[in-house]
A and B are shown apart, each in its own frame.
Chain A
């Protein structure tokens, strides 16, 4: 079943940078789909269109449609708050909010006005376990989140995106600033998480794309060049541009 359907989607920024053209993409539920390709191709833009985070950017024109289940994501009247609770997001740089570790996690509930203590305590533990961080922080939940190492901060961000039990998690180069061990921990978490969540990942390298992808989409200069199962795409790419990119000839 397709979780996300992107139909003939085009986007243009006001400054003329990094536009997307006629993207068609069906992302199946409970899989890990990677969007990869050279920098500046529009991967992040596509990712941020799925939770309407591009509303914050200076977008000139949007065409086409994006569906999350039956929801028309680009509908101007859509309640973006609810949408963003259904779609968690992790960014390239770990952005911990200037709060304690715990409040970073519970902040989403705070925004939603949820005060059910037992449920919140439970969710804190569950999300930290899912992000493979629980053991490291369970005794220091009230310390400032900024006191964590970079790798821990990024796993905290992952836990934060999971705590409200979204359907979809969007990850924009989540391991770009991390050491290999932390990267491995995050990747392992993602492999566990895809049993319950639909994950869309912009990887920080082709190797990571190949390691993690169930489905893979190659995006080059605003166009979707090729889309298929990770296995096919990384072993028998159909398009010459995909092949040359995977071989490291450019990008």
Chain B
């Protein structure tokens, strides 16, 4: 008896240390990436690097057009994907009947998130750039990114909506509320932090992707900023790809500097998402 309980204790300790090790490993990896990129790229960061355009065949100067371009693309993606994604999530969580059609929609969403991003890129090229005639442009690239982002936004938003206790809905209806009043006054406000987190995570992925924009809106090099949504634009991830593979004699410093800016951009969004989440958790009343 004693023997076996001791044995179980040892097993427990082993299991715990094993899991702790694995958990620390993931932290270690992200820390390593951040430290490596920062140490290699920090030297390139300067006022000029952030606020001026590339010069000398991109081997000198800054990356401002790419930063601004990624900003535009992220905003464009948000404008298209947020209303659509949120609407779909509300429908699925609050209105959709439990039938075959709903199941098909759900399966479609799951599969949409599994499609490789380069396939989205080709799809965007075919549909938005060529067929609909938007050309290589911010609009076409944003649409492509939006389609890629949709499943992330829909599934996280739906999850956040479902997490709102059913009893709130029942009480609201029992007090004479319509379904929509209940959603607007109780369900949405309660789910908002989760929804925002999902939106940010989705947009963060969009901001960092290269493949979907390389055929649809990203430019190799532009001397000036895009002047309208139907212009192509430079963008951080694509710029990084270009200067890492396509430009001979590229200073490593600038490559890593660009990577660092992209990393900060994306991690910054992540931090905002965590702050929203933890604030909401502290405020939660049930």
Contact = CB atoms under 8 A, between A and B. Distances in A.
Interface residues of A, number: 27
Interface stretch (A69-77, A90-98, A132-140, A198-206): A90-98
B186 A98 contact: yes
21 contacts: A53-B174, A58-B98, A81-B178, A82-B176, A85-B176, A88-B174, A91-B167, A91-B170, A95-B170, A95-B171, A97-B186, A98-B186, A98-B189, A98-B190, A107-B175, A108-B176, A111-B175, A111-B185, A112-B176, A144-B285, A146-B285
A56 B170 contact: yes
B172 interface: yes
Given A98-B285, A111-B181, A93 B176 contact: no
In the complex, which of the residues B168, B172, B174 has the most CB atoms of chain A within 10 Å of its own CB atom?
B174
B173 A95 contact: no
Contact of B168 (A56, A88, A97, A110): A97
Contacts of B174: 51, 53, 84, 88-89
Which size bracket describes the interface of B in this complex?
A: 20 to 34
B222 to A, nearest CB: 49
B169 interface: yes
Interface string A162-197: 001000000000000000000000000000000000
Contacts of A145: 285
Given A82-B176, A98-B168, A111-B175, 20 more contacts: A53-B170, A81-B178, A84-B175, A84-B176, A85-B176, A88-B174, A91-B171, A93-B167, A95-B170, A98-B186, A98-B284, A98-B286, A107-B172, A108-B175, A110-B185, A111-B176, A145-B285, A146-B285, A164-B175, A164-B176
Interface of A: 51, 53, 56, 58, 81-82, 84-85, 88-89, 91, 93, 95, 97-98, 107-108, 110-112, 144-146, 157, 160-161, 164
Interface of B: 98, 165, 167-178, 181, 185-186, 189-190, 284-286
B176 A95 contact: no
A249 B247 CA distance: 88
B176 A81 contact: yes
In the complex, which of the residues A84, A95, A146 has the most CB atoms of chain B within 10 Å of its own CB atom?
A95
A95 B167 contact: yes
Nearest to A163: B175
Contacts of A53: 170, 173-174
Contacts of A56: 169-170, 173
Contacts of B173: 53, 56, 84
A111 B168 contact: no
Contacts of B175: 84-85, 107-108, 111, 160-161, 164
A98 B164 CA distance: 11
Task: State the 3 A-B residue pairs at the shortest beta-carbon distance, nearest first.
Answer: A146-B285, A85-B176, A95-B167
Contacts of A51: 174
Given A97-B186, A98-B186, A98-B285, A111 B177 contact: yes
Nearest to A146: B285
B285 to A, nearest CB: 4
Contacts of A95: 165, 167-168, 170-171
A30 to B, nearest CB: 22
